[in-house]
Amino acid sequence: MSANASKPLIETRNLVKKFGSFTALNGVSLKVYSGEVHALLGDNGAGKSTLIKILSGVFPPTSGEIAVEGEVVSFASPRNATEAGIGTVYQDLALNPLTSVTRNFFLGRELTRFKSPFGLLKMGEMHQIAMQEMKKIGITISDPEQAVGTMSGGQRQTLAIARAIYFGAKVLILDEPTSALGQKQQMEVLKTIRRVQKLGNIAIILITHNEIHARLIADRFTFLSLGEVIGEGTSKDLEGDDIKRLMAGGAKIGDLAKELAI
Amino acid sequence: MENSAVSRKETDRLDAKSFFGVIFARPEIGPIGVMLLLFGMLGYFSIPAGEFSWNPFAGEGFNALGIRNNLKVISQLSIIALGAGLLIVAGEFDLSIGSMIGFAGACMAMILRWGFTIIVPYVSFAGGPHIEFITLIHISDISPIGAILITLCFTLFFGWLQGFIVVKSGLPSFIVTLGGLFFLRGLTEVSLRSFNHRPDQVKGATTVTEIPDIKNIIEVPGYGEIEREAAKALPEKDLVGIFDALPASTVADLTEKLNYTYQRVADAKTDIMASRGVKPLERALENAVESGNTQMADTIRDKIATFSIEPVVAKSVSQADVARAYLDTVFSARPVANFFGGDILEPFFDWLYFSVDWNTNNFGNQFAQGLYSCVMIALILALACHIVLSRTQAGNWIYSTGGNLQAAKANGVPTDKVKVCLFIFSAFCATIFAACQVFEVNTADAARGNLKELEAIAAAVIGGIVMTGGFGTVLGIVVGAFIFGLAKEAFFYIPGIDGSFYRVFLGLVIVASALLNENIRKRIMGTI
C-alpha cells in the first residue's frame, strides 16, 4: 500500500507538551507515510487531542520537532500548518449550516474577480470546483446551492475532507470522523477515507475510538496512553486481541474481567 | 449489502425543487405577502367615502403627495434598517442607532450654524494654577460636505469603539450599545444646551434652528448666491430685470407652462364654484321630493339642468411670474446639501402634471414637485448592500460570522474585523439618515431618532433576518421597511378605527415574522 515507505510524509520526533506541571505528551514519535491511513488510538486523556493540536498549529510543543517531507517545521498559527500542507478536519467540521455547499467549500478562501473582500465572487467556477472535488472522493451532490444544514452527517464529513484536500492538504487529520454518525453514514465516511487513501499522495491520520473502523481501514497503528506511545505497528503486525488490549491502555482482557468481578 | 438499497443514493433523498417550491422557500415570501396586503389596504381605504374605484392610485394613499410622503418614511427607515440588519446577520446588535441619529444631526447642525473649532484646555501656572484654553483650529463658514465629513469622523469613531469593545471583551453587543444609546443621547442634549446658552438664559434649548435653507441656495446673475425664496420675494422691478436676461426659448417654455397651470387653476375654481352653486338647489330638491311637492321638484330640476356659472378667467402671465418660475427651475448651488435634503425626479413629476394630468391637486396646482432625495440614497445603499452581501467575499464572511463563528474563525475569516466594520457601517447609516433630515428641514433636535433603533431592528426582523444571525437578505430588509412605513398610513385611513391600531398590527407581525424566521432557520439546520 505505501507508495514510498522509506520516507515519511510527516514525522514527529520526541514531542513533549507540558501544561504547567501537567505532562500531556511525554516524548511521542510518529511516522506517517503518504497513501496510508495511520490510526491514532487511545483512551480518553491519552493525549490524542494534544498531539493533533500541536500538528495543526493550535499550540507549539514544549520540546521535540515536527518534520514535513524531511524538513523541520514550526507553526505559529493554524494558518502556518495549513500552508505547510496539514489539513485538520475537526469533529464540528467548521461548517456554516445556514449557507450553501459552495460557500462553505470556499469559506475564507473565496475566488473573487479582483483581490479584495469586495471583489465579486466567481460563483459559477466555485460551484463547479466544489461539485468536482466532492465527486472525486465519492459524493455527487445534486445542488451546490443546497444548504449544508440539509445534508447528512456523512456528506458534511466528505465536504470538509474535500475542502481540506483541495486547499493543499498533504496530511489529513481526521478527528473522530465517525463518532457522531449512524451506522450507514459511518460506512459512507469510511468509503470516503478509502478513496482518499487510493489517491496515493495523501497521508491520513485517523483518530478514533472505534476499533472495528480502525481495523477496517488503517494501514498502521499507534497507541497512546497517558501521553506515551505504548504500541505501534502495521495492520499485519498486530493481531486480534492486541488492538483491543492496546486501546484499553495496555490492560489484558483478563485483567479487565478481573476488575469487573466485584 | 447488494440489494435495492444500493442503487438509492443519499442525494436522492433531496427532492428536486419545483419552481413554486423555490419561490416559497425564499425567506422574503411571507413579508412580501404582508406588504402587498398593506398596499391593497392603503389603496382601498384611502379612496374617499362614497366613491368607488378599483384603481388604488385614486385614493389619498397613492396620489402624488401620498407616494412622496410614504416613500420618504420608508426610505429613511430602510437606510437605518440596512445598517442594523447587516449587523444582525453577523450576529450582533446596535441599539445606539437612534441616539446616533440625534447626535449626528445635532453635530451637523451645530457645525453649520456656528462653525467648527478645536479647543485644547491646559493648566496654566502664571498667576496661580488655572485652566486656560488654546484654539487650534476655527472654521466659521463650513460647507455642507465639510459638516458631514466632520460628523462622520465622530460617528464612525464611536461605531468603531463600540465594535472594538464588543469583539475584544466578548460582552454582548446588547449591553455595550445600550450604553451607547444613553451616552450619545445625553451627550447630544448636554452639548446642545451649552451651545445654545444665551446671556439671559441659564441653559439653552436642545434644538438648533435658524440654519439657512442651504439646499435652496441658488446662483442668480446680478445677485450672487441667494436663497430661492428670498430671490422670489425680490421687488417687482428686480424680477423683471431677471426676466429680461432670460433667453427667448426659456421664456416661451415657462410662459406655456404657466398658462397651463393658470388655466388648470381657473378650471378648478369654476368647478368648485359650480358645485357650490348647485348644492342649495339640490338640497331644495330633496326637501321638495320629501314633502311631495312634485311641481316644485320639477321646477328645481329644470333649474339644476340649466344651471351654469360664468367660467373663471385664467390669470394672465406676468413677466415677474415667469422670473419666479425660472427661479424655481435653477439648480441648487449647494449640490451636496441638495443630494441629501433636496428632491429628485422633478422632470418626471412635471411630466405627470403637464402631460399626464395626474399629479394635480383639487385646486389645479401641481401636487408633488418630486420625490425626496433620501429615496435615491436608500436605493443606492440597498443596491450596494445587496451586492456585497450576496455576491462578494465580504458577504460570505458576514454570513459565516453570524452563522457559525467558530467555523468562520477556523477557516481564516477575520470575524472581528467583519463585526467592527459592520458596527461602523451601522453608525454610517445613522449619519446618512441624520444628514437627510438636517438638510431637508434645516433644524436639529436632541430628540431626533428616538426609538429608531428599535424600528430598524423590527423592520429587519419583519423582513426575515434571523435574530441569532447568519440568515437574511437585503431585499427582506427593504420589504420590512415597506411594511413598517405602510402600516401606519394604511391603518390611518381605515374608517371607524383608532389609527394607533397600526402598532397593535405591527406587534403581531413582528412576533409572527420572528416565529416564521426561526422555523425557516431550524428547517435549514435540519433540526425539524
The per-residue DSSP string of B448-492 comes to TTTTHHHHHHHHHHHTT--TTSS---HHHHHHHHHHHHHHHHHHH
- pLDDT band for position B5 (50/70/90)? very low
Which letter, b or e, does each residue of B204-227 get, where b requires 16 or more Cβ atoms within 10 Å of its Cβ? eebebeebebbbbbbebeeeeebe
**CA pair distance B55, B155, nearest whole angstrom:** 45
Residues with Cβ within 8 Å of B75's Cβ and at least 6 positions away in sequence, in order, are B372, B374, B375, B377, B378, B379, B481
Q: Does B166 touch chain A (CB under 8 A)?
A: no
Asked whether B443 and B79 are in contact (CB, 8 A), the reply is: no
Of the candidates B189, B131, B90, which has an alpha carbon nearest to the alpha carbon of residue B394? B90
Residues with Cβ within 8 Å of B43's Cβ and at least 6 positions away in sequence, in order, are B56, B57, B59, B61, B62
Q: How many CA atoms lie less than 13 Å away from B121 in the CB half-sphere?
A: 4
Of the candidates B488, B339, B476, which has an alpha carbon nearest to the alpha carbon of residue B27? B476
- pLDDT exceeds 80 at position B357: no
- Is B403 within 8 Å of A96 when comparing Cβ atoms? yes
Nearest by CB to B10, from A93, A143, A155: name it.
Answer: A155
- pLDDT band for position B23 (50/70/90)? low
pLDDT at A3: 46
Residue B328 phi, psi dihedral angles, 5° rounding: -65, -25
pLDDT at A77: 81
Q: Which residues on A lie below 8 Å from B526 (Cβ)? A: 97, 149-151
* DSSP per-residue letters across B361-391: -TTSSB----EEHHHHHHHHHHHHHHHHHHH
- Residue of chain A whose alpha carbon sits nearest to that of B404: A96
Strand B207-208 to A22-32 pairing: unpaired
Q: Quick check: is B260 in a domain?
A: yes
- Is A142 within 8 Å of B403 when comparing Cβ atoms? no
- ipTM of the complex, rounded to two decimals: 0.81
pLDDT in tens, A132-141: 888 888 778 8
State the smallest CA–CA distance between residue B430 and chain A in angstroms.
22
Asked whether B152 and B431 are in contact (CB, 8 A), the reply is: yes
Q: Quick check: is B284 in a domain?
A: yes
Asked whether B433 and B152 are in contact (CB, 8 A), the reply is: no
**CA pair distance B408, B398, nearest whole angstrom:** 9
Strand A71-73 to A63-68 pairing: antiparallel
Q: Nine-digit cell at B31? A: 413579508
Q: Quick check: is B348 in a domain?
A: yes
- Is A149 within 8 Å of B393 when comparing Cβ atoms? no
Secondary structure class of B337 (helix, strand, coil):
helix
Cell 412605513, residue? B485
* DSSP per-residue letters across A99-164: SBHHHHHTTTS--BSSSSTTSBB-HHHHHHHHHHHHHHTT---S-TTSBGGGS-HHHHHHHHHHHH
Q: Which residues on B lie below 8 Å from A120 (Cβ)? A: 387, 391-392
Asked whether B100 and B158 are in contact (CB, 8 A), the reply is: yes
Q: Quick check: is A132 in a domain?
A: no
pLDDT at B22: 63
- pLDDT exceeds 70 at position B315: yes
**CA pair distance A203, A208, nearest whole angstrom:** 16
State the smallest CA–CA distance between residue B37 and chain A in angstroms.
30
- Is B407 within 8 Å of A150 when comparing Cβ atoms? no
pLDDT in tens, B107-156: 999 999 888 888 888 888 888 888 888 888 888 888 899 999 999 999 99
Asked whether A166 and A196 are in contact (CB, 8 A), the reply is: no
Q: Quick check: is B58 in a domain?
A: no
- Residue of chain B whose alpha carbon sits nearest to that of A108: B413
Please tell me the total number of residues recorded for chain B in this structure. Answer: 528
Instruction: CATH number of the domain at A32, please.
Output: 3.40.50.300
- Is B407 within 8 Å of A92 when comparing Cβ atoms? yes
Q: Quick check: is B2 in a domain?
A: no
Asked whether B176 and B162 are in contact (CB, 8 A), the reply is: yes
Q: Quick check: is A134 in a domain?
A: no
Neighbours of B23 (CB within 10 A): 12
Q: Quick check: is A53 in a domain?
A: yes
pLDDT in tens, A161-208: 889 889 888 889 998 888 777 888 888 888 888 888 888 888 999 988
Secondary structure class of A17 (helix, strand, coil):
strand
Burial class, B377, CB count within 10 angstroms (exposed 0-12 / middle 13-18 / buried 19+): buried
Q: Provide the number of structural domains found in chain B.
A: 1
Interface of B with A in 463-492 (CB under 8 A): 470-471
Nearest by CB to A121, from B11, B13, B393: name it.
Answer: B393
Q: Which residues on B lie below 8 Å from A118 (Cβ)? A: 388, 392-394
pLDDT at A1: 43
- Is A150 within 8 Å of B521 when comparing Cβ atoms? no
pLDDT in tens, A26-76: 888 888 888 889 988 887 778 888 888 888 888 888 988 898 888 888 888
- pLDDT band for position A6 (50/70/90)? low
pLDDT at B455: 92
- pLDDT exceeds 60 at position B16: no
**CA pair distance A22, B326, nearest whole angstrom:** 87
Q: Provide the number of structural domains found in chain A.
A: 1
- By percentage, how much of chain B surpasses pLDDT 90? 33
Of the candidates B471, B316, B468, B511, which has an alpha carbon nearest to the alpha carbon of residue B390? B471
pLDDT at B2: 42
Q: Quick check: is B250 in a domain?
A: yes
Please tell me the total number of residues recorded for chain A in this structure. Answer: 262
Between the alpha carbon of residue B469 and those of residues A104, A109, B93, the distances in Å are 16, 21, 10
- Is A109 within 8 Å of B394 when comparing Cβ atoms? no
pLDDT in tens, B468-521: 888 889 999 999 999 988 888 888 877 778 878 888 988 998 998 888 888 888
Bridge partner residues of B363 (DSSP): none
**CA pair distance B326, A213, nearest whole angstrom:** 87
pLDDT at B305: 80
Q: Which residues on A lie below 8 Å from B18 (Cβ)? A: none
- pLDDT exceeds 50 at position B3: no
- pLDDT band for position A109 (50/70/90)? confident
**CA pair distance B465, B83, nearest whole angstrom:** 12
Q: Does B18 touch chain A (CB under 8 A)?
A: no
**CA pair distance B191, B446, nearest whole angstrom:** 9
pLDDT at B527: 59
End-to-end Cα spacing for chain B: 30
State the smallest CA–CA distance between residue A231 and chain B in angstroms.
32
- Is B399 within 8 Å of A96 when comparing Cβ atoms? yes
E-strand ranges in B83-198 read 116-124, 130-139
**CA pair distance B490, B66, nearest whole angstrom:** 11
Residue A34 phi, psi dihedral angles, 5° rounding: -70, 150
**CA pair distance B216, B197, nearest whole angstrom:** 29
pLDDT mean across residues, chain A: 83
pLDDT in tens, B55-104: 666 677 778 888 888 899 999 999 999 999 999 999 999 999 999 999 99
**CA pair distance B367, B364, nearest whole angstrom:** 9
State the smallest CA–CA distance between residue A103 and chain B in angstroms.
7
Q: Quick check: is B113 in a domain?
A: no
Q: Nine-digit cell at B117? A: 473649532
Instruction: Mean pLDDT check: name the lowest of B222-226, B383-387, B402-406.
Output: B222-226
Asked whether B133 and B121 are in contact (CB, 8 A), the reply is: yes
**CA pair distance B38, B502, nearest whole angstrom:** 11
Q: Which residues on A lie below 8 Å from B404 (Cβ)? A: 94-98
Q: Does B518 touch chain A (CB under 8 A)?
A: no
pLDDT at B27: 64
Q: Which residues on A lie below 8 Å from B413 (Cβ)? A: 107-108
**CB pairs below 8 Å between A and B: how many?**
105
pLDDT at B391: 92
H-run or E-run covering A13: strand A10-19
Residues with Cβ within 8 Å of B254's Cβ and at least 6 positions away in sequence, in order, are B246, B322, B325, B326, B329
Asked whether B233 and B242 are in contact (CB, 8 A), the reply is: no
- Residue of chain A whose alpha carbon sits nearest to that of B89: A98
- Is B404 within 8 Å of A149 when comparing Cβ atoms? no
- Is A117 within 8 Å of B394 when comparing Cβ atoms? yes
Q: Quick check: is B297 in a domain?
A: yes
Instruction: Mean pLDDT check: name the lowest of A86-90, B89-93, B195-199, B405-409.
Output: B195-199
Q: Which residues on B lie below 8 Å from A140 (Cβ)? A: 9, 11
Asked whether B74 and B481 are in contact (CB, 8 A), the reply is: yes
Nearest by CB to B10, from A103, A149, A154: name it.
Answer: A154
Instruction: Mean pLDDT check: name the lowest of B55-64, B200-209, B320-329, B403-412.
Output: B55-64
pLDDT at B409: 86
Residue B325 lies in domain: 234-367
Interface probe with B: pick from A96, A115, A148, most Cβ of B within 10 Å: A96
pLDDT at B78: 95
Q: Does B25 touch chain A (CB under 8 A)?
A: no
State the smallest CA–CA distance between residue A236 and chain B in angstroms.
27
- pLDDT band for position A2 (50/70/90)? very low
Q: Nine-digit cell at A7? A: 520516507
pLDDT at B51: 64
**CA pair distance A199, A171, nearest whole angstrom:** 12
Q: Does B283 touch chain A (CB under 8 A)?
A: no
Asked whether A93 and A177 are in contact (CB, 8 A), the reply is: no
Q: Nine-digit cell at A246? A: 492496546
Q: Which residues on B lie below 8 Å from A123 (Cβ)? A: 391
pLDDT in tens, B196-253: 877 666 677 888 888 888 899 998 888 888 898 888 888 888 888 888 888 888 899 8
**CA pair distance A242, B352, nearest whole angstrom:** 90
Residue A223 lies in domain: 10-96+167-260
Of the candidates A4, A42, A39, which has an alpha carbon nearest to the alpha carbon of residue A227? A42
Q: Nine-digit cell at B199? A: 446671556
Between the alpha carbon of residue A205 and those of residues A32, A48, A183, A185, B357, the distances in Å are 8, 11, 21, 20, 78
State the smallest CA–CA distance between residue A191 and chain B in angstroms.
14
